């Protein structure tokens, strides 16, 4: 058993989201150092605000302004901040009920240590120097006296140049490992060989192998070399150039049944005019120098395969 | 009330299998990890893949970092020629719920439910933060341990537990797991020793948190006489229900789980006693919340398998609770059991099943 392959895999995506009227008012308000909540039908004030009452599911739009000061309702000391979290130095996660609100907001509290934090302590917002209309416009909370008499005041929710959307970038780091069957396949490809795996029940040879027969649901553990020659079972002519692709159009993309395989894999056909490619064409792989997979397939010059020999593989 | 009156059909869990859960299964692809479990669970019933009426799975693409990762796993169930199949991007307990409904409606007699999770490729604490509210919460990247720590603090502040009691829950669970050959953490130091460790996120220490696990599980469901034919002692589903809390943590009372209580009520738990509970409480403090919501007293054996504190393959750990409870009934170690599954931060979604074996 060769060592299992593994490689770093980074998934990064900027999620662009549009905001409804309530979220837009709240996030625009943060940009203007104003904290808005929403009043529910039973009169309680939710901060951060939501568009539907969590108890009745009624649509709610009654915006109010609350204070930038509040009370910690629960906390957790985080001695080792992780990437993306609000502060790079140890801090407390806190739920804070802002003065005038009845629900609590999750954020970070900048404090010297866990002994300086307690449930019920008074805190105030520390605003970010640059604000864009995002929850991170609150840089964090810091200890500070509250305004216990503060009541929520009606607010129109209207601001100049309202924020209507946010972009939330996400990045997750993985170590990808393809497992036993695909490691064997990739290792063989590195030696310019193609291996499939045979199902012990139906005897079909799968390529690329994934370790299981999708028909029988049993492991495919008998390796067998297939190809290198094969037969075009079907194909299409690509006329539109994809972004960042340095292959000239038109080109032919085909399903190729390698000799000895019971499943066609796909590849590009070159070395023949696109309009001369046909079902049954016999082809062989062309490897680029140091290539870990065939760059393309080209005609072998053999007579075309008989239709009956590949009709089950279409 | 008998099980015949609550629902139109009798349905039981008739088989259960799981992997040995490990910190990393990097040598195996998901389908390679899953396949022995599928073989085992079908082997217990003598059914072949082609004889299953409905197949449903639970998993999450975010664990592996690949889109549609569940389709690869389908190779393990013999999905050709085409089968009746579905997938939930949730713990497999919710896949079991879908399969149960499928059988209740008469669309199927048998169902295969499986779930898998490989936590090892990514940083699980960060990965799970991507399931949070994307507007107000996810941009702050609060990790799963931090959110559980906030919940633990509310319980301590309310006088419902303390750090020593939480260490006791960890020690009891992992000591119970000594009898579970599939568990990842088996055995524990005494609570006093556990309390000497530094906090991970205060008030939680490493023992208050679940291990990071790779693993898979599968169950077979069957209706009525089919269930009686497939196994000697079916674990009949007396009731099954799931409920959800408001998504904003700041509007919830984190010391309580009204969704669990409501699901339990609808599943009929409060009409009947149980001798065993398999609770999906990945963090020690969550067991306190669940015991209260489910009204479990000291006569009920809690998590004899060790629970999620002993092995926590994300997306399978809830289904395993149902499977462990059913297996105890099948073995004759329990006559009536409650199984609970959760998903999301701080017990966001909760599923409750009441299972019963026929008189012995
Ligand atoms: Zn086969």
Distance A214 CA to ligand 1 centre (A): 7
pLDDT band at residue A272 using 50, 70 and 90 as cut-offs? very high
Percent of chain A with pLDDT over 70: 98
Residue A58 in this model has a pLDDT that exceeds 90: yes
Chain B residues with CB-CB distance to A46 below 8 A: 248, 251
Distance, CA of A310 to CA of A305 (rounded, Å)? 8
* pLDDT, position B6: 82
Distance A261 CA to ligand 1 centre (A): 13
* pLDDT, position A2: 57
B142 close to A (CB below 8 A):
yes
Whether A93 sits inside 8 A of B75 (CB atoms) is: no
* pLDDT, position A209: 93
| Element housing B3 (H / E) | helix B3-6
B155 close to A (CB below 8 A):
no
Q: Count, in order, helices (H) and strands (E) of chain A.
A: 3, 19
The 3-state DSSP class for residue B157 equals helix
Q: Which of A35, A93, A91 is nearest to A66 (CA)?
A: A35
pLDDT band at residue A149 using 50, 70 and 90 as cut-offs? low
Q: What would the pLDDT profile of B153-187 be if each residue is shown by its tens digit?
A: 999 999 999 999 999 999 999 999 999 999 999 99
Taking each helix axis from N to C end, the angle separating A179-190 and B30-45, rounded to the nearest 10 degrees, works out to 140
* pLDDT, position B1: 43
Chain A residues with CB-CB distance to B30 below 8 A: 179
Mean pLDDT of A67-81: 97
**DSSP of B231-253, one letter per residue?**
-SS-EEEEEEEEEE--S-GGGS-
B207: left (phi over 0), alpha (psi -120 to 50) or beta: alpha
Give first-to-last CA distance, chain A, whole Å. 33
- Taking chain B (360 residues) in runs of 10, the rounded mean pLDDT of each run is 75 98 92 94 93 96 88 85 93 98 97 96 95 96 98 98 98 98 97 98 98 98 97 97 95 97 97 96 98 97 98 98 98 98 97 93
**Out of A54, A213, A215, closest to residue B251 by CB:** A54
Mean pLDDT of A148-168: 91
Percent of chain A with pLDDT over 90: 84
């Amino acid at each position: 058993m060769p060592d299992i392959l593994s490689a770093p895999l980074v998934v990064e995506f900027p999620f662009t989201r549009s905001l409804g009227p309530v979220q837009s008012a709240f996030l625009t308000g943060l940009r203007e150092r104003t904290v808005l909540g929403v009043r529910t039908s039973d009169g309680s004030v939710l901060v951060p605000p939501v568009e539907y009452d969590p108890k009745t599911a009624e649509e709610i739009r009654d915006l109010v302004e609350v204070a930038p000061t509040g009370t910690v309702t629960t906390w957790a000391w985080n001695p080792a901040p992780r990437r993306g979290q609000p502060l790079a130095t140890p801090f407390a996660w806190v739920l804070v009920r802002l003065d005038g609100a009845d629900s609590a907001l999750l954020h970070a509290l900048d404090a010297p240590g866990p002994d300086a934090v307690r449930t019920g302590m008074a805190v105030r917002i520390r605003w970010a120097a640059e604000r864009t209309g995002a929850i991170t416009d609150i840089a964090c909370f810091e200890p500070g006296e509250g305004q216990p008499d503060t009541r929520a005041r009606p607010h129109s929710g209207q601001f100049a140049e309202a924020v209507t959307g946010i972009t939330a970038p996400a990045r997750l780091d993985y170590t990808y490992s393809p497992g036993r069957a695909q490691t064997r396949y990739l290792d063989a490809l590195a030696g310019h060989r193609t291996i499939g795996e045979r199902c012990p029940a139906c005897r079909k040879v799968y390529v690329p192998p994934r370790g299981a027969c999708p028909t029988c649901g049993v492991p495919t553990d008998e390796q067998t070399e297939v190809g290198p020659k094969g037969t075009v079972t079907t194909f299409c002519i690509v006329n539109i150039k994809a972004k960042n692709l340095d292959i000239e159009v038109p080109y032919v993309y085909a399903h190729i049944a390698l000799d000895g395989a019971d499943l066609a894999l796909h590849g590009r056909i070159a070395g023949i005019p696109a309009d001369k490619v046909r079902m049954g064409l016999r082809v062989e792989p062309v490897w680029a120098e140091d290539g870990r997979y065939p760059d393309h397939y080209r005609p072998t010059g053999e007579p075309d395969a008989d239709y009956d020999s590949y009709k089950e593989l279409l | 009330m008998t099980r015949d009156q609550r629902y139109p059909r009798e349905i039981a869990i008739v088989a259960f299998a799981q992997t040995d859960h490990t910190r990393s299964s990097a040598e195996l692809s998901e389908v390679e990890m899953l396949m022995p479990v599928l073989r085992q669970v079908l082997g217990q019933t003598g059914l072949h893949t082609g004889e299953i009426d409905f197949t449903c799975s639970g998993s999450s693409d975010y664990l592996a970092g690949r889109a549609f990762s569940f389709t690869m796993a389908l190779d393990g169930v013999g999905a050709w020629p085409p089968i009746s199949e579905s997938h939930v991007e949730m713990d497999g307990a919710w896949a079991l719920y879908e399969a149960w409904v499928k059988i209740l409606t008469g669309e199927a007699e048998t169902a295969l439910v499986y779930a898998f999770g490989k936590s090892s490729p990514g940083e699980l604490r960060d990965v799970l933060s991507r399931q949070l509210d994307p507007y107000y919460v996810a941009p702050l990247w609060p990790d799963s341990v931090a959110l559980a720590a906030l919940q633990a603090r509310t319980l301590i502040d309310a006088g419902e537990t303390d750090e020593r009691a939480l260490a006791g829950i960890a020690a009891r669970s992992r000591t119970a797991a000594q009898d579970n050959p599939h568990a990842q953490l088996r055995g524990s130091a005494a609570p006093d020793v556990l309390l000497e460790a530094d906090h991970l996120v205060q008030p939680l220490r490493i023992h208050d948190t679940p291990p990071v696990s790779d693993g898979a599980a599968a169950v077979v469901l069957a209706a009525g006489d089919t269930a009686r034919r497939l196994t000697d002692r079916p674990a009949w589903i007396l009731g099954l229900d799931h409920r959800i809390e408001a998504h904003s943590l700041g509007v919830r009372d984190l010391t309580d789980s009204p969704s669990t209580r409501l699901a339990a009520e609808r599943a009929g738990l409060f009409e009947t006693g149980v001798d065993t509970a398999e609770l999906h409480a990945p963090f020690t403090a969550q067991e306190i919340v669940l015991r209260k919501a489910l009204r479990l007293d000291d006569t009920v054996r809690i998590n004899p398998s060790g629970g999620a504190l002993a092995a926590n393959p994300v997306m399978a750990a809830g289904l395993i609770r149902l499977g462990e409870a059913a297996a105890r009934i099948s073995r004759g170690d329990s006559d009536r059991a409650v199984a609970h599954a959760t998903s999301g931060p701080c017990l966001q979604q909760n599923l409750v099943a009441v299972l019963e074996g026929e008189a012995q």
